[in-house]
Chain A
Amino acid sequence: EVHLVESGGGLVQPGGSLRLSCVASGFTFRSYWMSWVRQAPGKGLECVANIRQDGDEKYYVDSVKGRFTISRDNAKNSLYLQMNSLRAEDTAVYYCARQLRPDFWGQGTLVTVSS
């Protein structure tokens, strides 16, 4: 059974940083593109970033380019999202998802950017 478990969310001040992690199990992690998708409170969904199996190809939505970095460690079955220069509008539940075109999603971790 596919499992994706996110962690690392929390309350951070504007301009601060957070690193999200996602541990995968139940499938061959190194064989899949992986993605981060976010959902602002009471709002819709936004694809934030994704990363190829080998980590050498990455895509970001314009609103996070230069501030967020997606990475992975295939030996640890883990996906990461380093978030710097956080803004209030980054407040959201962040989901780890399998595939470039997401099929299976984790339960999410809440990031709140507020002073």
Chain B
Amino acid sequence: DVVMTQSPLSLPVTLGQPASISCRSSQSLVHSDGNTYLNWFHQGPGQSPRRLIYTVSNRDSGVPDRFSGSGSGTDFTLKISRVEAEDVGVYYCMQATHWPFTFGHGTRLEIK
């Protein structure tokens, strides 16, 4: 199975400051169809996961533009340009190129 490694595990951030989460995969996530199926999810306290980013860098409908995704191959990054209070929770990367699809262990973002 593809192993997804996220860092850091915990991310204390001051309101209004930027944040960055790294995700690395144990093998390339480039699919035979040419797409790279790397997604990012946010799980707020007591909530189900919400997808923020799909295929590396595409924001889902309603996701603020302070969220951006980048990367290629095996190395990916989620960036928040200015953290807001509603951004607290756990962020997961997920690869959907190789079955079984797998998730990183999560990065917990908290406000300092």
Contact = CB atoms under 8 A, between A and B. Distances in A.
* Chain B associates with chain A: yes
Interface stretch (B17-25, B43-51, B70-78, B80-88): B43-51
Given A45-B92, A45-B94, A101 B48 contact: no
A44 B92 contact: yes
B38 to A, nearest CB: 10
A45 B49 CA distance: 10
Contacts, number: 41
A31 to B, nearest CB: 18
A90 to B, nearest CB: 16
A101 B96 contact: yes
Size band of the interface chain B makes with A = 20 to 34
A102 B60 CA distance: 12
B95 to A, nearest CB: 10
Given A44-B106, A103-B60, A62 B49 contact: no
A32 interface: no
Query: At the interface, is chain A mostly helix, strand, loop or mixed?
Result: loop
Size band of the interface chain A makes with B = 10 to 19
A106 interface: yes
Contact of A107 (B48, B60, B99, B102): B48
Interface of A: 44-47, 59, 61-62, 95, 100-108
Interface of B: 37, 39, 41, 48-51, 54, 60, 92, 94, 96, 99-106
Given A44-B103, A100-B96, A101-B39, 8 more contacts: A44-B104, A45-B49, A45-B103, A46-B102, A95-B48, A101-B37, A102-B96, A103-B60
